[in-house]
Structure 1
Amino acid sequence: MSSPTISYKNHRFPPQIIAHTVWLYFRFPLSLRLVEEMLLERGIVVSYETIRRWGCEFGAAYAKQLRRKKPSRKDIWHLDEVVISIGGRKHWLWRAVDQDGYVIDEIVQARRDTKAAKRLLVELLKKQGMTPKRIVTDKLRSYGAARRDVMPAVEHRSHKGLNNRAENSHLPLRKRERVMQGFRSVGSLQRFISVFSAVRNLFVSSHHKRSALATHIHRIRALAQWKAVTVTAA
């Protein structure tokens, strides 16, 4: 993780309040107005528009500072795409998660074809710096064509029943989509998911059968890292 470079200059609210507000908004399925109400209950008067600006200004900065999972050649990439309506038009959110459900990358595209699948694979190779052990997808033929072009030596398993990790990874965003009553533009969706997934990767345990104590410790460590990244550690 790189050294924190977050600046709160010219903001009248303390960094702790700004960071806590951004955490509430991206960590939980809350609308801007619900976050505004929760802060008011604690005597903090902040408009929902201010919360929106904090999310845009600081959310991306926080996400860039969060520690990313180290890639491995033993990783298995689960790829999937889900339709999202923006301004009455269909767009596709292409997502890749690893064997632990960790979101590796996601791209909003207007098409659901080989070109779009190829773009996802190219971006994944660029960010991960290595190919995976295997990729798992549903029956969409575009994945096979893109894989043969971009990473022909990588094993590809195409079966809907094997791809539950990628399909399940869409559920948290679907909940947020309903709370937010949709997204206004492709850009706003892409910006939101980059922060949303980074925060979720940090706080959500990748091991579903952890004990209650292990889960508790994981959350404590995640909060400690969050405070270090947001420069709000005591």
Structure 2
Amino acid sequence: MERVLKISADELVAERPEAGFEDVHFTQALVREVLEQYSSVGDVVLDPFAGYGTTLVVSHQMGRKPVGVELLPERAALIRQRLGSNGVVIEGDARQLHRLEIGQVDLCLTSPPYMSAVDHPQNPLTGYSTLDGDYSTYLDELLRVFLAVKDCLRDAGYLVINAANIRTGDVVTPLAWDIAHMLRPHLAFRGETYLQWDRPLDFISGDYCLVFQKLR
């Protein structure tokens, strides 16, 4: 991938399945870039935080086999509506990925629900539905999710994570860098692409795609 990729905010808004889905993190153009670089036609593409299904829908359009895991029932139902019979959508908790019988995959492209290190009692990994949020625990649980992804990846397969560094007042949570740091002992870090939004959000300090590879 290019080291800098220009992203359109209007494109993101236009692609939302329904109005008000502000937590859709990336555009279909970004998914196409990743799929073209790190997968081939017929490959299995996993998104363990499937959200509204952007990764899965584009994967199908490009001749890949999409597999997604989504915690919230209404979102899982929406993805099934968008995909029809053209993929596998599991309603479940990504933290239980090792129990979900995903099988082997060639690429994982995902964007986990974000959390800042300050002023964030809502737990992203429960769909922000509980107030037991703790940043260190959140990172530990993300690590377990991505280690389960590693177990699903074929040798030389890729894990691509869209993650941002988050601004809360004067404090910046280096979420992208924290994810990269915790995964480096487990997967080969192949670099990052900076996502240059034409209209950056105030709470985003920097937005990135982090690329990791499972060694043979």
State the TM bucket, normalised to the shorter chain.
Answer: 0.3 to 0.5
Bigger strand share:
2
Indicate the structure (1 or 2) with the bigger Cα radius of gyration: 1
Q: Which is richer in helix?
A: 1
Tell me which of the two structures has the higher relative contact order, counting C-alpha pairs closer than 8 angstroms and 6 or more residues apart: 1
